[in-house]
């Protein structure tokens, strides 16, 4: 996988001023920018250099346009995974359809919005890096499988090893499937959810520029633009937060869950006061855990209880523990009196970016519970929910006892 300081972007445009403008917009991001003044020049560059994370290409160019150039690029196996973003001044459906047909990942419209260009480039560079990581893992798994096949042919004694490694291969494929599903959701958010606030920004900006509104209307338009920008910023931040979470963490240590939960509740003090909420915390156990991650779990669960409360009803949250002696697990319950969840969605709520309500109704992007699940997987634990519509929800966090956690870590 490429380090950020080694990320290369190919920019293709027949106008030197456009190339200079794009390079200037992206210069703070530490990317290596390679410029080409035509489609043919871009193809010549790609004959010798394959390690581009992204291609930004103008559609309208003499001799060979952007769509024709992209079609030729994607004929080569070594280049077919490089995402292409077309830059165009035209927004007709036919042109957009043609661009997606030849393999475009997205469009940026002229005049270029610098902040939008930086956001999109950052998202697609991150997407390309994750794709490359998956391809490397896939190749690694294929190599392992090939080695196993040769060992099976060479000696019968390798059967036991083959069974063990095939089991690992199955587990890795499940992991890859999960990552692919997350990448699909990343792509959806990048191409769909981010478009919605952008459309609002463009529409209301055009209204202001056309000077058809009185001052009060202009103020309302500006407020809508601000709200849309905030929504887009939240989506981008959540994308980055989820993608980076897998590398975050710390050391396991003896943790008093009473202190962890009090810390999480303290962070939500303002929201609790605004909602006039009552938080009841019973005595909780001491476990082996990563304290910062466990605090994030309870922060997200209490925050959800405040967010999905009933109108005109003060939230009540009860946090208590039960011990499962047979399985050597503690079950920490976080019970609220909120709007509840339909039974059919109790599994879906832990899927990244899965929302049961429009963000117009309740703020958020559907990432908090998926992060909770990641953290519990890291702790060899689990999280689930029970609920009735209009009767509240109980989240149950399962954590091993300290001795059990030490045994799992040692194995």
Dump the DSSP string for 186-205: HHHIIIIITHHHHHHHHHHH
The predicted model gives 89-99 an average pLDDT of 78
pLDDT tens digits for range 36-66: 999 999 999 999 888 898 999 999 898 899 8
- Residue, of 192 and 67, whose pLDDT is higher: 67
Q: How far is CA 353 from CA 23, 120, 287, 358, in A?
A: 33, 19, 30, 12
DSSP class of residue 365?
-
How far is the CA of 88 from the CAs of 92, 99, 196, 206, in angstroms?
Answer: 10, 10, 19, 18
- 3-class SS at 395? strand
As given in the structure block, the two tokens for residue 246 are 């897998």
Q: CB neighbours of 273 closer than 8 A, spacing ≥ 6?
A: none
Q: Is the pLDDT of residue 411 over 60?
A: no
Strand-strand pairing, 278-281 and 286-289: unpaired
| Predicted model pTM | 0.46
Between CA 220 and CA 224 the distance in angstroms is: 6
List residues bridging with 321 in a β-sheet: 332
- Dihedral of the CA atoms 138, 144, 149, 152 (nearest 10)? -150
Domains of the chain: 1-184 (3.40.50.2300), 194-247 (no CATH), 253-410 (3.30.565.10)
Q: What is the mean pLDDT of residues 221-238?
A: 72
3 band by pLDDT with thresholds 50, 70 and 90: very low
* Positive/negative CA dihedral, 114, 120, 126, 132: negative
Task: Give residue 156's pLDDT.
Answer: 67
Dist CA 284 CA 295 (whole Å): 13
Per-residue pLDDT, 364: 47
Q: Reply yes or no on whether the pLDDT at 2 is more than 60.
A: no
- Chain centroid offset of residue 101 CA: 26
The answer for residues whose C-beta is within 8 angstroms of residue 129's C-beta and 6 or more apart is 1, 2, 7, 53
- Contact status, residue 288 vs residue 254, Cβ threshold 8 Å: yes
Where residue 78 falls among pLDDT bands split at 50, 70, 90?
confident
pLDDT tier at 366 (50, 70, 90 boundaries)? Answer: low
DSSP string over 16-50: HHHHHHHHHHHGGGT-EEEEESSHHHHHHHHHH--
> What CA–CA distance (Å, rounded) separates 197 from 234?
11
Task: Answer yes or no: is pLDDT of 363 > 60.
Answer: no
3-state secondary structure of 2: coil
Q: What whole-number percentage of the chain has pLDDT above 90?
A: 26
With a cut of 50, say whether residue 6 has pLDDT above it.
yes
CA distances to 150, 170, 368 from 351, rounded to whole Å, are: 39, 21, 10
Q: Do the Cβ atoms of 280 and 345 come closer than 8 Å?
A: no
Can you give the pLDDT at residue 284? 95
Can you state the percent helix, strand and coil of the chain, rounding each to 5? Answer: 55, 15, 25
- Residue 220, classed as helix, strand or coil, is helix
How confident is residue 1, by pLDDT bands cut at 50, 70 and 90? very low
Contact 189, 175 (CB under 8 A): no
Q: Of all helices (H) and strands (E), which one includes residue 167?
A: helix 159-188
- The Cα 123–Cα 117 span in angstroms is 10
Burial 139-162 (b: 16+ CB within 10 A, else e): eeeeeeeeebeebeeeeeebeeeb
Q: Residue 396: which of 372, 374, 360 has the closest Cα?
A: 372
More confident residue, 198 or 76: 76
Task: Give the whole-angstrom CA distance, residue 35 versus residue 145.
Answer: 41
Beta carbons within 10 angstroms of residue 323's beta carbon: 12
* pLDDT score for 186: 56
**Average pLDDT for residues 177-201, to the nearest whole number?**
61
Name the least confident of 79-88, 133-142, 314-323, 387-396.
133-142
pLDDT of residue 288 exceeding 60, the answer is yes
């Amino acid at each position: 996988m490429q380090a950020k300081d080694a990320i290369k972007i190919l920019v293709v445009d027949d106008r030197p001023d456009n190339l200079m403008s794009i390079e200037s917009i992206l210069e703070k991001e530490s990317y290596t920018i390679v410029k080409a003044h035509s489609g043919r020049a871009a193809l010549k560059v790609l004959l010798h250099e394959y390690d581009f994370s992204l291609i930004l290409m103008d559609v309208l160019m003499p001799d060979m346009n952007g769509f024709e150039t992209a079609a030729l690029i994607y004929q080569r196996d070594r280049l077919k995974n490089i995402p292409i973003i077309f830059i165009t001044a035209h927004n007709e459906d036919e042109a957009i359809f043609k661009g997606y047909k030849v393999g475009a990942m997205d469009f940026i419209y002229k005049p270029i919005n610098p902040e939008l260009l930086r956001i999109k480039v950052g998202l697609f560079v991150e997407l390309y890096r994750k794709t490359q990581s998956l391809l490397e893992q896939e190749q690694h798994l294929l190599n392992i499988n090939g080695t196993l096949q040769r060992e099976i042919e060479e000696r019968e004694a390798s059967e036991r090893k083959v069974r063990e490694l095939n089991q690992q291969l199955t587990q890795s494929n499940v992991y890859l499937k999960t990552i692919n599903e997350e990448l699909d959701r990343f792509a959806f958010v990048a191409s769909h959810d981010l478009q919605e606030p952008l459309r609002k920004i463009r529409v209301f900006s055009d209204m202001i520029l056309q000077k058809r509104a009185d001052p009060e209307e202009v103020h309302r338009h500006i407020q809508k633009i601000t709200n849309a920008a905030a929504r887009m910023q939240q989506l981008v931040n959540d994308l980055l937060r989820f993608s980076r979470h897998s590398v975050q963490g710390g050391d396991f240590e003896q943790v008093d869950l009473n202190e962890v939960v009090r810390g999480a509740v303290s962070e939500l003090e303002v929201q609790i006061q605004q909602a006039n909420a009552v938080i009841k915390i019973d005595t909780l156990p001491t476990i082996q855990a990563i304290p910062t991650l466990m605090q994030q779990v309870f922060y997200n669960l209490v925050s959800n209880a405040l967010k999905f409360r009933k109108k005109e009803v003060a939230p009540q949250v009860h946090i208590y523990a039960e011990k499962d002696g047979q399985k050597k697990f503690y079950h920490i319950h976080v019970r609220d009196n909120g709007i509840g969840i339909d039974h059919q969605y109790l599994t879906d709520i832990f899927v990244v970016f899965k929302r049961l309500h429009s963000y117009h109704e309740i703020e958020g992007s559907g990432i908090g519970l998926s992060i909770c699940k990641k953290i519990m997987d890291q702790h060899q634990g689990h999280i689930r929910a029970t609920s009735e519509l209009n009767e509240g929800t109980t989240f149950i966090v399962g954590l091993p006892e300290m001795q059990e956690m030490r045994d799992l870590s040692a194995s």
